[in-house]
Amino acid sequence: MKKVIPDMILVKFLRLMAVVSGFFSILLCILIIINFIQLKRTDPLNTPALASIQERFIKDPGNTALQQDIRQLDLLARKAFFTSQRQIRSGGYLLFASLLLLVICVKSLELIIPKIPSVLAAGPENPWRRRKIQRRGVIIAGICLVTFTLLLAWITHQMLTPTAEITTLNATASRINSNPEGPEKQTSVASTASDSGNLQGNPGTNNITFAEGFPAQQEIQSNFPSFRGPGGNGIAFQKNIPVSWDGASGKNVRWKTEIPLPGYNSPIIWRDKIFLSGARENKREVYCLDATNGKIRWTADLPKIPGSPGQSPKVTAETGLAAPTLTTDGRRIYAIFANGDLAALDFDGKIIWTKNLGLPKNHYGHSSSLIMYRDLLIIQYDQSGSARVMAFTGETGDKVWETSRNVKVSWASPVLVNTGNRMELLLAAEPDVASYDPATGKELWKLACISGEVGPSVTYANGMVFSINEYSKLAAIRLGPIPSLAWEDNEYLSDVPSPVAINDIVIVVTSYGVVVCYDAATGKKHWLKELDKSVYSSPMIADGKIYVLDKLGTMHILRADKTLTLVGESSLGEGSVCTPAFGEGRIYIRGDKHLFCIGK
């Protein structure tokens, strides 16, 4: 008797749990089906209200009231999008858990309750047989319902996966604000916001000297050898940077030089030389300018390289054929183009070696910039079907290592930093932020925290890595034996400009012109500044200030601090989508046609 009572209580409990989990599973199935139907009827990112305001904004691009409406609707649309993502993901997990509980309860009941053999005659009139058939029918119907629901959940998740084809209101704001004459085609590439670099994490944290024949860390920091400076981390070490100029009147503009061929790569600087590249369909050039007077010292015309494709790849106008920024080790200059052509030149413009890496397979054009580590030229080549990162010797172009990557196409660029006890090469592409040993290509760690077609590169400060992408999230990764997600935010996101971090703050600039300062440790928002202009250039921190260049050519300068302080705003007099480079007391900005030198 003592054993029977606990068994009866257990049986009742298991039956209750089975009934509850069964009803809960049915409810989840109904909700997931309703969610799918609603999503088919109304896409949260493409509602009639969004379409209507797009048309109104195109007809009246100068309407400031519409601009405010756009920001509000954009925020609501993005929140609805992420809410739908979370709901379908959570619903799928809960459905799986409730079904698992149901199965456990049913199987437990079968083990506890002994089977009673039927003493009735076999046949259709046997009530036990009818009950068994009915129960089997219910089970089959339940399995069909669950399978159908899970299929809809998967389809819904795919529908909510960010793609370049998704058009949102903030994209409309971005392109219309930058073009008062009308909208231009929006893309998710970061041709000018992709970052490459050499060695640096935070100021004063690295004391690494290269082997003989390569520049020491102090020499690297005194120059500007790659996109967004040493390490590609967005920190410039030069001082006395100007905060006021005017391109129209020539105030504090030391010189400006027209660049022969178009390109969205940013200038790099080594001592008194500036290097850029430009390209058209059948012509690729590298330029060396005198940093003191802006004169073009030499132009290197790259001939047809063996293995180079016969025709140039199709690229968008916003990426072009010369988007990646060059890099230098102080001995040679390295350039890459949209057709996969790679070249090394000496400082006199003589070509040392060339090769073709294979036609990049992406739908915008290759834009990942180059980076140097010791004597290695490192290239992030995340193309469709063949994503990889590889290293070549700078002197000969021989391949030293190559590491395949299980990621999608990416337009971000590598960032190289000292994380305290080792050098790490940081890359971003869906679904991972990943770290590699720059000397060997060995993967050190990776964390799935980014999605979509990634344009912005990562940034690093004080043991934290920050990644961001539109329709994804801003993710803060705390490094350690096992890197982990410290915090995340999805309110203000960027599809082009990369973030920048220093000390205990991280700065995010959206392509539609909002600058946000976060606490690096907690994700708390310290301040927000609306520029009312779209931005493709990545923010830079120099001399204690944040430099943000909008697409119309206005530089917005803010104090790199937890309190919002606007230092000044200066106009270039020419549009620009390129990230600026810095020299001692000077800023070098590539505009739509000219390279400008700003300084007293």
Evaluate whether 490 touches 82 at the Cβ level (below 8 Å).
yes
DSSP result, 44-100? TTS-HHHHHHHHHHHH-TT-HHHHHHHHHHHHHHHHHHHHHHHHHHHHHHHHHHHHH
Per-residue confidence (pLDDT) for residue 312, from 0 to 100: 78
Chunked mean pLDDT (size 10), the chain, 600 residues: 60 79 78 72 60 64 63 62 65 76 77 60 56 63 70 60 40 41 35 36 38 75 95 95 95 96 96 96 95 96 85 83 95 95 96 93 88 94 92 95 95 94 95 96 96 94 95 94 95 95 96 96 96 95 97 97 96 96 97 95
Q: Six-digit token pair at 584?
A: 């001692």
Element (H, E) at 153: helix 127-159
Q: Measure CA 485 to chain center.
A: 16
Which pTM was predicted? 0.70
Per-residue confidence (pLDDT) for residue 238, from 0 to 100: 95
Q: What is the CATH number of domain 217-598?
A: 2.130.10.10
Per-residue confidence (pLDDT) for residue 6, from 0 to 100: 55
Element (H, E) at 25: helix 4-41
Per-residue confidence (pLDDT) for residue 59, from 0 to 100: 60
Per-residue confidence (pLDDT) for residue 599, from 0 to 100: 94
DSSP single-letter state for residue 567: E
Q: How many whole angstroms separate alpha carbon 381 and alpha carbon 410? A: 8
3-state DSSP percent of the chain in helix, strand and coil, to 5: 25, 30, 45
Per-residue confidence (pLDDT) for residue 135, from 0 to 100: 60
Q: Report the 10 Å Cβ neighbour count for 73.
A: 20
Q: What are the start-end ranges of the H helices in 178-280?
A: 217-222
Per-residue confidence (pLDDT) for residue 435, from 0 to 100: 97
Per-residue confidence (pLDDT) for residue 308, from 0 to 100: 83
